[in-house]
Chain A
């Protein structure tokens, strides 16, 4: 006769209630661990998704994610000419917030070096890569936009042609990919009023200089909306991504580092900049909270299991008086604790399946969490049971005679 199952059968409601309660507690712990893992993963997923060997950014900056980076677009061509470089791609990055169909969208806009980089390295879950230099974008599914849907940016309609999954920034914002040219249009977009005012200021400045007064045609050019001064540089980019020959990676890195206008980071260094800077405080905050929550949950689970054992003191004393073999009593306590742990974990796993996708930030259940969480649960309930068993072993069967 299995005493553990008999006890559960008799107190089924209480057992299930306890298992659900512990399961909910475990789900909170797993959620916190998942949020922490998600934060760390989100912080680096964007850099990893670009599959670059080297990140070339503005000199003495930690761009483009940890701080702003403005790089002359000519760096792309210069870098491409370095021996050992297979390809060099421009990269821009900016955060924008727009309203779309009554919803506020926060978007990290990434410019890709189309046509060399149509988003080949992106993990698409639906749709396709960029095929046109203008008017197309790939967005993360978390933005809630569908394939074919258009988003209005800088007065132009950008059609969604592909969807990624979990392409997020360290702040949890969804990422949208378009050509660098389109990204620049969005970045330097200004209203017609602002354009007019800028022209007025240019004309005003010209009229106050000898050059302007001596060359009246300059004033006509400055007020012509179709004209752009050929001497002005193209809009700056945030970074240049380098794919290098694996055998010459170090050599390429050293060459680029010798340039006076850029800083060069490897993929690992770029990730370290993010984890050590951008999300460091959030990581520590959530990390410490996760540790405290995990310890608290462990203590609560242990106390619940221990108290469940204590509640059986009289029944155990009677069974002991009847001469119950010790392994039977040990099995009784341990089996029940394990069943409770397994049920609680099942409830936590179910909660995770149902609730975690609804969280505003990604809850990433890593393989480590999937492996450690059930093992930790089983260890905690076993430890609590062992404490309870210590108590059981000390029970004097004479207590049963005391009524």
Chain B
């Protein structure tokens, strides 16, 4: 499988001196395309900080991030146009769908196509909404959609630029168990059918069987999870952030 993103020895500290908190403590991780990985862990363990670092939103203080084999961040310094990387190669799904409030479902996807430089954004947006089963709500504004529908549109938006990496930060936190599983199944489908690497931060342990790889974070460190996932052959976790 092709490497989507690789983090090497990421460290990030919030606060200073006595009040300093290590959000990332020598975290290394590789996400392969075509796999869906879950990132588990209690609140404050550093999951969101890792997602921000992998998504080029808020870099770690030290360490390196490689994207498709190319080093793009070193010790917090961008070595590439991160905004461009985000709009062309990354997709984000949040705890709340965070759809743009003044755009309808189709336009939310279409604008992401535009940002990613994709042609025929409207047609592509319709296809993606159809792929995710919300094609009948394309003209609805976010406030008219249910939580599950909003997340489906958010996933469609994340897929708009055919990303090689999708980062989802607790995307099912606001959904009931049925809708939650449905969304997780979508991520699995996207990873396997479209060849994206998907990292899902979640507390929900009822759908862990849907993930190929499971990671667990605690006190800023990452290790393979003890939970049993539905690991795809050949998709074994690559990590060297096991607590020492």
For chain B, residues 44 to 67, give those with C-beta under 8 angstroms from any C-beta of chain A. 48, 51-52, 55, 57-58
For chain B, residues 61 to 114, give those with C-beta under 8 angstroms from any C-beta of chain A. 83-88, 90, 92, 94-96, 98-103, 107, 110-112, 114
Whole-angstrom CA separation of A382 from B98 in the bound complex: 29
Do A323 and B87 have beta carbons less than 8 Å apart? yes
- A1-B111, A323-B88, A401-B94 given as contacts; is B57 within 8 A of A315 (CB)? no
Q: Inside 8 A of A323's CB, which chain B residues have their CB? A: 83-88, 90, 115-116
Do B96 and A403 have beta carbons less than 8 Å apart? yes
Q: Inside 8 A of B103's CB, which chain A residues have their CB? A: 6, 10
A372 close to B (CB within 8 Å):
no
Q: Inside 8 A of B90's CB, which chain A residues have their CB? A: 323
Do A6 and B107 have beta carbons less than 8 Å apart? yes
A319 close to B (CB within 8 Å):
yes
Do A397 and B57 have beta carbons less than 8 Å apart? yes
Tell me the dominant secondary structure on chain A's binding face.
Answer: helix
Do A315 and B51 have beta carbons less than 8 Å apart? no
Q: How far is the CB of A127 from chain B (nearest CB, A)?
A: 59
Whole-angstrom CA separation of A282 from B96 in the bound complex: 60
What interface size band does chain B fall in?
20 to 34
Contact of A398 among B57, B98, B115 (CB under 8 A): B57
**Which residue among A11, A322, A325, A401 has the maximum number of chain B CB atoms within 10 Å of its CB?**
A322
Do B52 and A400 have beta carbons less than 8 Å apart? no
- A322-B115, A398-B58 given as contacts; is B95 within 8 A of A403 (CB)? yes
For chain A, residues 345 to 403, give those with C-beta under 8 angstroms from any C-beta of chain B. 396-398, 400-401, 403
A95 close to B (CB within 8 Å):
no
- A315-B102, A400-B94, A401-B52 given as contacts; is B141 within 8 A of A10 (CB)? yes
Do A322 and B87 have beta carbons less than 8 Å apart? yes
Whole-angstrom CA separation of A7 from B101 in the bound complex: 8
**Which residue among B88, B102, B115, B141 has the maximum number of chain A CB atoms within 10 Å of its CB?**
B102
Whole-angstrom CA separation of A321 from B84 in the bound complex: 10
Q: Inside 8 A of B149's CB, which chain A residues have their CB? A: none
**Which residue among A9, A325, A397 has the maximum number of chain B CB atoms within 10 Å of its CB?**
A397
Whole-angstrom CA separation of A314 from B94 in the bound complex: 13
Minimum CB distance partner of B169 in chain A: A401
Minimum CB distance partner of B101 in chain A: A315
Minimum CB distance partner of B57 in chain A: A398
Q: Inside 8 A of A322's CB, which chain B residues have their CB? A: 86-87, 92, 111-112, 115, 157
Do B107 and A401 have beta carbons less than 8 Å apart? no
Do A319 and B100 have beta carbons less than 8 Å apart? yes
Q: How far is the CB of B166 from chain A (nearest CB, A)?
A: 13
**Which residue among A314, A323, A398, A403 has the maximum number of chain B CB atoms within 10 Å of its CB?**
A323
Do A6 and B57 have beta carbons less than 8 Å apart? no
Whole-angstrom CA separation of A328 from B55 in the bound complex: 21
Q: Inside 8 A of B95's CB, which chain A residues have their CB? A: 403
Whole-angstrom CA separation of A396 from B83 in the bound complex: 12
A284 close to B (CB within 8 Å):
no
Do A401 and B48 have beta carbons less than 8 Å apart? yes
Minimum CB distance partner of B103 in chain A: A6
A138 close to B (CB within 8 Å):
no
Do A7 and B102 have beta carbons less than 8 Å apart? yes
Minimum CB distance partner of B122 in chain A: A1
Q: How far is the CB of A124 from chain B (nearest CB, A)?
A: 57
Q: Inside 8 A of A32's CB, which chain B residues have their CB? A: none
- A323-B87, A324-B87, A397-B57 given as contacts; is B169 within 8 A of A6 (CB)? no
Q: How far is the CB of B164 from chain A (nearest CB, A)?
A: 14
Q: Inside 8 A of A24's CB, which chain B residues have their CB? A: none
A112 close to B (CB within 8 Å):
no
Q: Inside 8 A of A10's CB, which chain B residues have their CB? A: 101-103, 141
Do B100 and A318 have beta carbons less than 8 Å apart? yes
Whole-angstrom CA separation of A314 from B96 in the bound complex: 12
A 283-324 binary contact with B (CB < 8 Å = 1; else 0): 000000000000000000000000000000011001111111
Q: How far is the CB of B21 from chain A (nearest CB, A)?
A: 17
Q: How far is the CB of A332 from chain B (nearest CB, A)?
A: 10
Minimum CB distance partner of A311 in chain B: B101
Whole-angstrom CA separation of A315 from B101 in the bound complex: 7
Minimum CB distance partner of A318 in chain B: B98
Whole-angstrom CA separation of A325 from B82 in the bound complex: 11
B 167-192 binary contact with A (CB < 8 Å = 1; else 0): 00100000000000000000000000
Do A403 and B102 have beta carbons less than 8 Å apart? no
Seen from chain A, the residues whose Cβ lies within 8 Å of a Cβ on chain B are: 1, 3, 6-7, 9-11, 314-315, 318-325, 328, 396-398, 400-401, 403
Give 13 pairs: A residue, B residue, CB < 8 Å, sorted on A.
A1-B114, A1-B121, A3-B111, A321-B55, A321-B57, A322-B111, A323-B83, A323-B87, A323-B88, A323-B90, A325-B87, A396-B58, A401-B57
